[in-house]
A and B are shown apart, each in its own frame.
Chain A
Amino acid sequence: MEDYRGRQLKIFRGVNPLFMWGVFLALLLLPLVIRSEYTLSVLIICLIYGTHAASRNLMVGYAGILSFGHQAFYGLGAYFSAIITMKFQLSPWIGIPLGGFFAALLSLAIGFPCLRLRIAPYIAIATLAFSEILLVICKNWVSLTRGEMGLSGIPPLQDFSLFGLAIFTFSTGGKIPYYYTMIGIFILTMLFINFQAGSKVGLAFRAMRDEQDAAASLGVNLTRYKLTAFLTGSFFAGITGGFYAHYISILAPDAVFGIGEMVEIVAVTLMGGIGTFFGPVLGAFVLVIGLEVLRGLSDYRLMIYGAVLVILIIMMPHGLLAGLTQLLNKVKTRTAGQLRKAGS
C-alpha cells in the first residue's frame, strides 16, 4: 500500500551535499550557456514555482500539515511588498523581506485555528478558507489594493553592486540580474529547508507527520512545532511572492490568491514527490517547461493541471521520479522473468 507522504520515520541525514551544491552550481552557470531572454524568463518562472512549492512542501511534506492555502502567503508577500514600496517609496530590497515577515505574522492567524484540527480534510478546508478570506479582502479593499483592477507600476528591483565583485543592473531591463536574484532566494530557501530538516525541528516535524499522538506522547510540543511550520513555510512563500510582484510589476487578486494558483502549486509539489528535497523544483521545471514546449496546449493550461493531478494521485502518488523508477523496476522484473522462462 502506498502513502505518498511516505510514513516511515527515517533519520534524515540531509540531501547529499555534493549533489545539492552541484544542482545550485549548475543553475548558477546556466546563463553562461543560455543567452535567450525568453528562456531565462521561463527559468525564472520555474524557480518562482519551485521555491513556492518547496515552501509548501516544508509544511505538507515535512510537517504533515495539509495546507491548501499556501498561495495566501505568497499573495500576502507580493501585495505587502508592492504596497509598501509604492506608498512609502521604499526599496524593494527592503520590501521583499518585510513581505516575508508580514506573511509569517499573518500565518499565525490561520496557524492558531488549525492547532486543534487533527484530520487532514479539516485543515485543507480551513487553510483554503483563509486564502479565500484574503481574496475577498483584496478584492474589496479598493483604496489599498485597487481591488479587481489590480496594482500596476510596481517598482522594479534597484541596481546594486555586490561588494564591488559583481554589479547587478536591473534598469537596463535584462533578465540575467533577475535570474540571479531568484536563484539567490531559491538557494536560501533550500539551504534553510535542508538545515531545518536535519535539525531537531525536522525530526519533530516528521514524528508529528507520521503519528501525531505518538509524537506528543514522546514529548513533541505539537503547538510549538505546528506554528514553527506555519511561520517558516509562509516566510519563504512570502519572499517568493514579493520577488514575483517586483519582477512582473503588476498584481491582480486572482493571480496570487486564486484557486488556479493553488492547483498549480499542488500539482507541482505532487509531481516532484511530496516530502522529497528537490521534488518541488523538479516538478516546477517539468510542468512549466513542459507547458512552454507544448505551446499549443497553453490554452488548456488549467485543464492539463487538473488532469495531471488526477493521473498522478492515481498512478504515481510518490511523484514522477519514484513512479518512473517503479515502472522501470516492474518492466525489468517482467523481462527478467520472461528471459528466465525462455531460458528454461
Chain B
Amino acid sequence: MTNFPVIFEQIVNGLVLGSMYALVASGLTLIWGTMKMLNFAHGELYMLGGFGLYFAVSLLHLPPWTSVPLVLAAVFILAVLLEKGLISPLLGRPDWDVSAVVATLGIGIFIQNFAFKFWGGDFQEVPYMIPGTVTSLGVTLAWHRLYILGLALAVLIAFWQGMKKTRFGLALRATAQESEAATLMGIPYRKIYTLTFSISASLAALAGTALAPIFSVNPWMGSGPLIKAFIVVILGGLGSFVGAILGGFIIGISESLSVLFLGSGWKDLICFLLLILVLVFKPAGLLGGKEW
C-alpha cells in the first residue's frame, strides 16, 4: 500500500499544504514582529477569503481571476477598519500583550458566528482556479495544487524581497526593531501598524481563496489553519519570517505523511505533539529570537 508513488504524492501534497501554512503563518509572524501581538482573528480573515471567492464566483458569476484581487481588496479594507476601530485603542496599554489576544479572539468569534448566522453552515463548493490534472513520474496532480504552490512561493519571495529593498520594508523593519526610535526618524508607526495588520490579513485571505476549492467553504474553515499557523510560528520562531516558511513546510509535510500512517483523524495530533516538544526543548523555535 505504502509504495513509493503514494509517499511521493503525499510529499507533494505536504508541500502544497505547507506552502499555504507558510502563507497564513507569515502574516501572523509579521504582525508579531511589528506589533508584538497575536492575532486570534487571523483564521477568520482566511475564512472571509474563502467566502469572498464563493460569493464572487458563485453568486456574482465573476471569473475567478478577477475575483481574487477583489476579495483581497475587500479584506484589506475590512482589516484597516478593524485595526483603526478596535485594535489601535488598545495600543500602548501596559496589558497590550493580553488585551490584544482577547480583543482579536472576540473579533474572530464574532466574524465566525456572523458567517454562520447570515451565510449558513452549509459546505459550499468553489471551482478550481485551473481545472484539470497533470500526470508525471507516475503521480497525478491537479493543476490547482501546482497553482497553489507557485502562488505561495511567488508571494513569499516577493514579500521577502520587498521587506529588504523597498522603503516600506525598511520602515516596517525599523518599527519592528524599535518603534520609538522609528518615530524619531519620522516613520509614522501607527500607519505602519495599520498597513502591517491589513497586509497580513490579505495574506490570510489569499490563502483562503487558494484553498477554498480543495477544502469547501464554511464558517469554521478558519479554526484549523489558525491553530496550525500558531504551531508553525512557534516552531519557526515568533517574529521570524524565514522561520514561518520553514515551519510551514515542516508541518505541512509531516501532516500529510502522518495521514498515511495514522489516518486523517489523528493527523492533527502530530502537529500538537511537535508543538509541545518545541516548547519543552526549544521555546524560541528553530530560528527565533530570545523572547518566549
- Chain A residues within CB distance 8 Å of chain B: 1-5, 7, 66, 68, 112-114, 116-122, 124-126, 128-130, 132-133, 136-137, 139-140, 259-260, 263, 266-267, 270, 299-303, 305-310, 313-314, 317
Nearest chain-B residue to A307 (Cβ)?
Answer: B110
Contact assessment for A5 and B110 in the assembled complex, using a CB-CB cutoff below 8 Å: no
CB distance from A139 to the nearest CB of B (A): 7
From B32, B37, B106, B280, name the one whose CB has the most chain A CB atoms within 10 angstroms: B106
Q: How far apart are the CA atoms of A308 and B98 in the complex, in Å?
A: 16
Contacts of B103 in A (CB 8 A): 309-310, 313-314
Q: How far apart are the CA atoms of A240 and B291 in the complex, in Å?
A: 36
Interface residues contributed by chain B, number (CB under 8 Å): 46
Other than the known A128-B227, A300-B117, what 14 A-B pairs have Cβ atoms closer than 8 Å?
Answer: A113-B276, A113-B279, A117-B283, A119-B97, A122-B234, A122-B292, A125-B230, A125-B231, A125-B275, A133-B269, A260-B109, A303-B117, A310-B110, A314-B103
Contact assessment for A305 and B98 in the assembled complex, using a CB-CB cutoff below 8 Å: no
Q: How far apart are the CA atoms of A309 and B102 in the complex, in Å?
A: 7
B99 at interface by CB-CB < 8 Å = yes
Q: How far apart are the CA atoms of A299 and B223 in the complex, in Å?
A: 21
B265 at interface by CB-CB < 8 Å = yes
Contact assessment for A313 and B227 in the assembled complex, using a CB-CB cutoff below 8 Å: no
A140 and B279 in contact, given A306-B113, A309-B105 (Cβ under 8 angstroms): no
In the complex, chain B residues 99-137 whose Cβ is within 8 Å of any chain A Cβ: 99, 101-103, 105-114, 117
Closest 6 CB pairs of A and B: A309-B106, A306-B110, A306-B109, A310-B106, A140-B265, A302-B113
Contacts of A300 in B (CB 8 A): 113, 117
Q: Which of these, B89, B92, B97, B109, contacts A120 with CB under 8 Å?
A: B97
B170 at interface by CB-CB < 8 Å = no
Contacts of B37 in A (CB 8 A): 121
Nearest chain-B residue to A125 (Cβ)?
Answer: B230
Tally of contacts, chain A with chain B, CB under 8 A? 144
Q: How far apart are the CA atoms of A317 and B292 in the complex, in Å?
A: 25
Q: Which of these, B38, B90, B279, contacts A124 with CB under 8 Å?
A: B38
Contacts of A129 in B (CB 8 A): 227, 230-231, 272, 275-276
**Prevailing SS type, chain A contact patch:** helix
Q: How far apart are the CA atoms of A266 and B40 in the complex, in Å?
A: 14
Q: How far apart are the CA atoms of A7 and B93 in the complex, in Å?
A: 13
Contacts of A314 in B (CB 8 A): 86, 89-90, 103
**Prevailing SS type, chain B contact patch:** helix
In the complex, chain B residues 25-56 whose Cβ is within 8 Å of any chain A Cβ: 32, 37-38
Contact assessment for A309 and B98 in the assembled complex, using a CB-CB cutoff below 8 Å: no
From B114, B227, B231, B279, name the one whose CB has the most chain A CB atoms within 10 angstroms: B279
Contact assessment for A2 and B93 in the assembled complex, using a CB-CB cutoff below 8 Å: yes
B94 at interface by CB-CB < 8 Å = yes
Contact assessment for A118 and B95 in the assembled complex, using a CB-CB cutoff below 8 Å: no
CB distance from B226 to the nearest CB of A (A): 10
Contact assessment for A136 and B269 in the assembled complex, using a CB-CB cutoff below 8 Å: yes
B268 at interface by CB-CB < 8 Å = yes
Q: How far apart are the CA atoms of A207 and B3 in the complex, in Å?
A: 58
Q: How far apart are the CA atoms of A296 and B292 in the complex, in Å?
A: 44
Q: Which of these, B227, B266, B292, contacts A119 with CB under 8 Å?
A: B292
Contacts of B109 in A (CB 8 A): 259-260, 263, 302-303, 305-306, 309
Nearest chain-A residue to B283 (Cβ)?
Answer: A116
9 A/B residue pairs, CB under 8 Å, sorted by A? A113-B279, A116-B280, A122-B234, A129-B275, A136-B265, A140-B266, A303-B114, A307-B106, A307-B110
Q: How far apart are the CA atoms of A301 and B106 in the complex, in Å?
A: 12
CB distance from B291 to the nearest CB of A (A): 6
